[in-house]
């Protein structure tokens, strides 16, 4: 999900036809996990902070982007557990549920309006002041 979001951001601001350029790589690599987590924490809420709200249509994200953000947070927590908790045991059924959640997240992102997706990706790449 992290890399799909980075590709969406770079596609939006550089263009999918320029994926082999250094400019595309620069945009793609400019985001870190923390930035995505912090934005998703905000986006999943009903009311955005005033700092972010002025950059989003209707001062809040709609249900598709809110669900996308919530799923990103859930999947990131699962990835952290799998990577850093030596006692965790993941069943194949759990992995399949995570894959299903990731597919759902992508569907929800794509179902959001173009304006909302652009606002989300802008906030991911550019820190509002």
The runs of H, that is alpha helices, within the chain are 2-13, 22-28, 33-43, 50-53, 63-84, 92-111, 114-125
pTM for the whole structure: 0.91
pLDDT at 45: 87
d(CA 120, CA 82): 27
User: Which two structure tokens, joined as six digits, stand for 30?
Assistant: 């400019």
Q: In a 3-state reduction of DSSP, which class is residue 50?
A: helix
Nearest-CA neighbor of 40 among 11, 1, 79?
Answer: 1
Q: How confident is the model at residue 128 (pLDDT cuts 50, 70, 90)?
A: confident
What pLDDT does 46 receive?
80
Q: Which residue has the tokens 């992508």?
A: 106
């Amino acid at each position: 999900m992290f890399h799909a979001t980075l590709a969406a951001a770079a596609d939006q601001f550089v263009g999918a036809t320029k994926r082999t350029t250094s400019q595309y790589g620069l945009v793609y690599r400019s985001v870190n996990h923390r930035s995505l987590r912090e934005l998703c924490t905000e986006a999943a809420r009903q009311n955005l902070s005033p700092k972010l709200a002025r950059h989003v249509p209707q001062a809040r994200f709609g249900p598709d982007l809110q669900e996308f953000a919530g799923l990103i947070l859930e999947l990131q927590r699962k990835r952290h557990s799998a990577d850093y908790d030596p006692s965790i045991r993941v069943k194949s059924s759990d992995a399949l549920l995570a894959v299903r959640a990731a597919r759902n997240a992508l569907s929800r992102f794509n179902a959001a309006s173009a304006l909302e997706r652009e606002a989300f990706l802008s906030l991911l790449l550019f820190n509002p002041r």
